[in-house]
Amino acid sequence: MASTNTTLSAINRGGIATLANGTCWHISSSELLKAKDWRIGAEVAIQGHKLTNVETGVQLDVVPIPLSADADEASAGRNGMNG
């Protein structure tokens, strides 16, 4: 699986990383301390469920957070309401 590079826009105290490409990722609570020194604007690479700070090489376990439109669509599909 190829990695995708973008930049870090924000990390909130709850462990949600927002990237310049519009995606959001939940950082595992056990990994959150590793990200405390990441600077906004840092280049990051996403590969699978790993977010890597390209500048430092620090890698975090993450889970993608679906955008609300995607989540609504997925929910409708599970409920048989699509179409």
pLDDT in tens, 3-17: 889 999 999 999 999
Beta bridge partners of 26: 16, 63
| Cα–Cα distance measured from residue 57 to residue 50, given in angstroms and rounded to the nearest whole number | 12
Report residue 73's pLDDT band, with 50, 70 and 90 as the boundaries: very low
Task: Indicate the pTM of the whole model.
Answer: 0.76
- CA 32 vs CA 13, 28, 35, 61, 62: distances in Å: 9, 6, 5, 9, 10
27, exposed or middle or buried, with CB in 10 Å at 0-12, 13-18, 19+? Answer: buried
40 Cβ partners below 8 Å, 6+ apart?
8, 9, 10
